[in-house]
A and B are shown apart, each in its own frame.
Chain A
Amino acid sequence: MPQKSIRQALNEALAQEMRRDPTVIVIGEDVAGGAGSEGQRDAYGGVLGVTKGLIGEFGEARVIDTPITESAIMGAAAGAAVTGLRPVAELMFSDFLGVCFDQIFNQAAKFRYMFGGKAKTPLVIRTMIGAGRSAAAQHSQSPYHIFTSVPGLKCVVPSNAYDAKGLLIQAIRDDDPVIFCEHKLMYDLRAEVPDEPYTIPFGEANIVRDGDDVTVVALSRMVHYATTAAGELEKDGIEIDLIDPRTTSPLDEDTILESVERTGRLVIVDEATPRCSIATDVAALVADKAFGALKAPIRRVTAPHTPVPFAPDLEKLYIPSPEKIAAAVREIYGYGK
């Protein structure tokens, strides 16, 4: 099977869905890049190249460069979705939700319920998350927990190229608004990705590693840090059950609970800030529904409750590390023994 990067997998998913369904459009800042200037029309293809080449095949009517105007982009996508298109809108950095949240939070998310089930809003918002590029406080956050907390939105947080393609196709075909969170440091990460289109259902976690000692739930880039930690822990005879939920809304509660019922121990790894987060949400889920199975306290390995710092030394401390994950696993593995 061919090896593809997450960038290639996403591009392929977009192109295949645009070929299949003429109502799928791509809209955002520099999704082609070069509108209104003399140089190359497809100069950017999205700031990270995910939409590169689409304008050549699908034209300006379906690959729409916009001004820097996030409220209008998100609103246009929401209004287009509710009237018959399937827009894939790009919110370049997820941090920019601050200037356009109304159109996501009060408009797109609410239509179906507020209008008594008469509206469907098949909208995908692709957006970048993640720290690690010294992009500092306004270009490095991972606010998927904010999207997750809003009824009416679905939230996807893929960790690899195979999942990225299948989940993006699923997102485009879904009739609800979906926020699709891409980690900015993972676009070049490669995996085996089939050439043909396929979907991955929402709400089905991926069990990355089987183990009976400690359950580890991790998202996005943290799946890879947890995998690194697992390799170290294995040397000490500790086997982790590593679960990647892939979507935070809907959340595959059953897979998490079944694992904790078996291991009795839980570590959650989350690059986002710790309050009201996916980490606290999963901790609450397990405390609520698998309390009797717990043999140790739940440990959350998260960013601190601070903005993302600029200095590389500080940013490294900010992001959860394989070492911190391994330490948390060791601590609760030894608890009560």
Chain B
Amino acid sequence: MQLNRDDLLRAYRSMSTIRRFEERVQEEFSKGGIPGFVHLYAGEEASAVGMCMHLGPKDYIASTHRGHGHSIAKGCDVTGMMHELFAKRDGLCGGKGGSMHIADLNVGMLGANGIVGGGPPLVVGAALTAKTLGNGGVAVCFSGDGASNQGTTFEALNMAVVLKLPAVFVFENNQYGEGTGFSYHCGSGDIAGRAGGFGLPALKVNGDDFFAVHEAAGEAVEHARNGGGPSVIEVDTCRFYGHHSGDAQLYRGKDEVKTLRENRDCLKHFRTRVSEAALLEPDALSAVDAEIAALIDRSVTSARAAAPPDPAQLLTDVYASY
């Protein structure tokens, strides 16, 4: 699929937004303004954006603990997300979900998920809705390499094949399930190969390369949309931060993150590629970066100033309280 100038700018804006959002969340979390836990997506941007650029408002995604990137890529309001992380009344979930449960059904975002392996069965359901209503929708499940070992994932893959559902399962292999390495935790050492055993097309793609992800994702989404059934994409990617913000990452090798940032930064690769091919000028990219930095600044300023939830909200949005 040929990407025009607008597509490239859209892709870069989305990836840059995720990167800046996560860097800023890390700063704000360290200062103590954000309660709870945050799991940062920096380093994996090409996966969320390369996939979600193929999706429209009728399509759904389910996400993981590490859900900010997927949310932004699917079109969740960045300011609403920041307010949610700061636990404010006008956050995307009214301050009742937080980082691990950011959702916006209106843009087809079924939620970050606090349960590893929670998303795949839900995506089977979203794809079943699309198939039953015949509305041409596709449902995409983002999971990590950690969730690739969960029974719910295996059940969902099988069910999606059995019911021939319009679903795509994306496994973002960042080499860690929390702090345990992929070479240890995945018995077969190969997520795509194992997933293929369920009887659906499965391939691996280099997550440092936005264009590779975008192409593979486009084929998988089209396959699903045209009634071809589900498929799997394993994205080889990397995590610039720990499992969660504040993780000392003592399990990682010396200079591992430094090397990853130098060699495997999907944003850097994107900039180089489009500059060398004269597709986008450095000035245009810098203008996007400046615009995003200002947006994130404003979102933090307004999030800090926003009101916390009203005490009465404790008892709303659930049918009964005692």
Contact = CB atoms under 8 A, between A and B. Distances in A.
Contact of A119 (B103, B118, B130, B132): B103
Given A75-B156, A250-B319, A116 B162 contact: no
Nearest to B102: A115
Given A118-B93, A118-B106, A79 B125 contact: yes
Residue in A64, A75, A106, A176 whose Cβ sees the most chain B Cβ within 10 Å: A75
Contact of A78 (B94, B104, B122, B131): B122
Nearest to A69: B155
B94 A116 contact: yes
A75 B147 CA distance: 15
A336 B101 CA distance: 56
B206 to A, nearest CB: 30
B286 interface: no
B177 interface: no
Nearest to A176: B319
Contacts of B125: 75-83, 85, 87
A75 B318 contact: no
Interface in A269-291: none
Nearest to B314: A113
A114 B121 contact: no
A113 B139 CA distance: 23
A79 B122 contact: yes
A102 interface: yes
Contacts of B130: 83
A326 to B, nearest CB: 32
Nearest to A103: B121
Interface residues of B, number: 49
B115 interface: yes
Nearest to B135: A84
Given A115-B101, A117-B94, A76 B111 contact: no
Contacts of A80: 125-126, 128-129, 132
B317 A151 contact: no
Interface string B293-322: 000000000000000000000001111110
Nearest to B103: A115
A224 interface: no
A190 interface: no
B124 interface: yes
A68 B55 CA distance: 31
Contacts of B142: none
A249 B321 CA distance: 10
A72 B113 CA distance: 16
A107 B122 contact: yes
A117 B316 CA distance: 8
Given A80-B129, A107-B118, A116-B93, A67 B158 contact: yes
Contact of A74 (B114, B121, B316, B317): B121
Given A106-B115, A107-B115, A75 B152 contact: yes
Contact of A106 (B114, B129, B151): B114
B133 interface: yes
A225 interface: no
B241 interface: no
Contacts of A228: none
B159 interface: yes
B91 interface: yes
A119 B316 CA distance: 13
B290 interface: no
A111 interface: yes
Nearest to B128: A80
B152 A103 contact: yes
A72 B94 contact: no
Contacts of A88: none
Contact of B126 (A83, A102, A111): A83
Contacts of A66: 159, 162-163
A215 to B, nearest CB: 20
Q: What 5 pairs across the A-B complex have the smallest Cβ distances?
A: A75-B121, A79-B125, A116-B94, A79-B122, A116-B93
Given A72-B158, A81-B125, 12 more contacts: A61-B131, A76-B121, A76-B124, A79-B62, A82-B122, A83-B110, A107-B121, A114-B93, A114-B111, A115-B101, A115-B103, A154-B319
23 contacts: A64-B163, A69-B158, A72-B156, A75-B124, A76-B122, A76-B125, A77-B125, A78-B121, A79-B122, A79-B127, A82-B126, A83-B139, A84-B133, A102-B118, A106-B114, A111-B111, A113-B317, A113-B318, A115-B104, A115-B105, A116-B95, A152-B319, A154-B320
